[in-house]
Amino acid sequence: MQNEDFLKDLNAFMQSKGFIYGPFPEIYNGVSGFYAYGPLGKLLKNKVENSVRSIFFSNGFRELECPTVVPDIVWQASGHLDTFTDQTVECAKCKSVFRIDKLIEEVTGKETAGWKDKQFLETIKKEKISCPSCKGAFKEEVKAYSLMMKTLVAGKPFSLRPETATVTYLPFKRLNEYFRKLPFAVFQIGKAYRNEISPRQHLLRLREFTQAEAQLFIDPKEKNNWTKYESIKKEKLPLYTSHHQEKQLKVELISLDDALKHKHIKSKAYAWCLHLAYKQFLSMGIPAERIRIRQHLDDERAFYADDAWDIEIKLNTFGWTECCGVHDRTDYDLKKHAEFSKQSLEAVRDNGEKYVPHILEIAFGTDRPCFTLMDMFYEKKEDGEGKSTFKIPYHMAPIDLAVFPLQKKDGLPEYAEKVKELLERDFIVDFDESGSIGKRYLRAAEAGTPYALTIDYDSLKMKDVTIRDRDTEKQIRVSEKELKETLKKLLSGEMKFL
């Protein structure tokens, strides 16, 4: 359930400190589902995306960038044009349209995954649910509403991509040529668009958003012959599933090997993908106790999906929230695109046998992790000066360092400028010379900046700088010569304050 008061505070913090602006464009009243990243928000998003890149790169993935506007035949093949819809109800009185599943979930607190139209309508009747806008009654029919954003290119129907995944499958033949053999793995980070009906969950439900989706193309015969699995099979994951014939779902730390033995997970390659997805979120600094991995119920799993789990994160604002899906899509997508394009999308085994590869997919976005980090690490201070802090893990902080000359005179600003220039190529550095030093520390803490560097009169004589730690408020003096190396070690966690 939603924590309204905290969301209001968090939103005010995000707007006023330069993280997130919106709904956008604010001066024209804003449209829900669109937000802008301000200077600090964009730096945070860069950190998130660089973390995603570095984890995928270090696991053998390569990055692609494909167009966001694609002819509709692609979306006919993928099924999006016909079936990528939300079920809606319309108010008979004011004509407002609502997503029926979200409406029922909000009013009753019930989980509606896998529900059919009849069940939705019966619940509206039984629970006497009325229109949130005007209290009027709903029409007794469920309508499918397309989430595709449409446009025309050279007079022909095109759509903005609703996901990055499909456009990653399309160059399969080229990729097969580039990598020379399977398995190979690629990912994209980029914009996608969905015509959401009435998005009201801030960065969690956007009409324009950034996805990060990775695909492993693999020979189905090799799914259980996955050597990378061996080094991680003892790792325990917080699986949220029904264990040992019990009906109730609960979270249990289960090793991947046990999960495979009990057939919670079907293949070694899939287990490896699930672990990799989990590692993505841990690497962003999200605490393990806030993460669970939920198995899709039979009736919410897409008909072609062989194995499907979601990574869920517990937010202060919205509670448990889906942040990533890991799916075994089998050969479904390549077969569909082969059929519609009339091209062969096959690979060849060493013995000459032809086959359609399977696709294992890790699908998430970078907006939800940004929201998650702000939701979890923003702390409103109730006492004293009423200043809030942003206790984000140091390696994810938008700004790495803030440089403060103690006074605006006697050569201190000039030396501080010199220190800033020395560090700017390796770090994101802020420079602040206005107000008392105490106020400047508070401002830096609100931005989540891990280290403040103060230049005082001794600094001019000794050619050194005082480094102050955001959380412990402890200080050390470091010579200009050793400054860069020391800060690198501090920010990577390799070195700590005494």
Q: Which two tokens stand for residue 495?
A: 């070195």
Are the beta carbons of 77 and 85 closer than 8 angstroms? Answer: no
Q: Name which position in 12, 94, 144, 302 contacts Zn ion (CB under 5 A).
A: 94
The C-alpha atoms of residue 372 and residue 165 are separated, in whole angstroms, by 23
Rounded to 5 degrees, what angle do the CA atoms 361, 365, 371 make?
145
- Tell how far CA 239 is from the center of its chain: 20
Stretch that binds Zn ion, among 83-91, 109-117, 389-397, 481-489 (CB under 5 A): 83-91
To the nearest whole angstrom, how small is the minimum distance from the Cβ of residue 93 to Zn ion?
Answer: 5
Stretch that binds Zn ion, among 85-93, 210-218, 248-256, 282-290 (CB under 5 A): 85-93
Cis bond upstream, residue 23 (ω within 30)? yes
Are the beta carbons of 185 and 352 closer than 8 angstroms? Answer: no
To the nearest whole angstrom, how small is the minimum distance from the Cβ of residue 100 to Zn ion?
Answer: 14
The C-alpha atoms of residue 170 and residue 340 are separated, in whole angstroms, by 11
Nearer to Zn ion, 96 or 108 (CB): 96
To the nearest whole angstrom, how small is the minimum distance from the Cβ of residue 97 to Zn ion?
Answer: 10
Q: Name which position in 20, 44, 89, 91 contacts Zn ion (CB under 5 A).
A: 91
Nearer to Zn ion, 82 or 127 (CB): 127
Are the beta carbons of 197 and 203 closer than 8 angstroms? Answer: no
Nearer to Zn ion, 94 or 462 (CB): 94
Stretch that binds Zn ion, among 41-49, 96-104, 342-350, 463-471 (CB under 5 A): 96-104
- The strand order across the sheet containing 149-153 reads 69-71, 156-160, 149-153
To the nearest whole angstrom, how small is the minimum distance from the Cβ of residue 129 to Zn ion?
Answer: 12
Nearer to Zn ion, 89 or 452 (CB): 89
To the nearest whole angstrom, how small is the minimum distance from the Cβ of residue 138 to Zn ion?
Answer: 8
Binding of Zn ion at residue 256 (CB under 5 A)?
A: no
Compute how many residues bind Zn ion; rule: CB under 5 A.
Answer: 8
Cα distances (angstroms) measured from residue 407 to each of 40, 357, 419, 456: 26, 65, 15, 8
Question: What is the x/- site pattern for Zn ion, positions 122-141, by CB under 5 A?
Answer: ---------x-xx-x-----
Is the Cα torsion angle 330, 335, 337, 338 positive or negative in sign? positive
Binding site for Zn ion (CB under 5 A): 91, 93-94, 96, 131, 133-134, 136
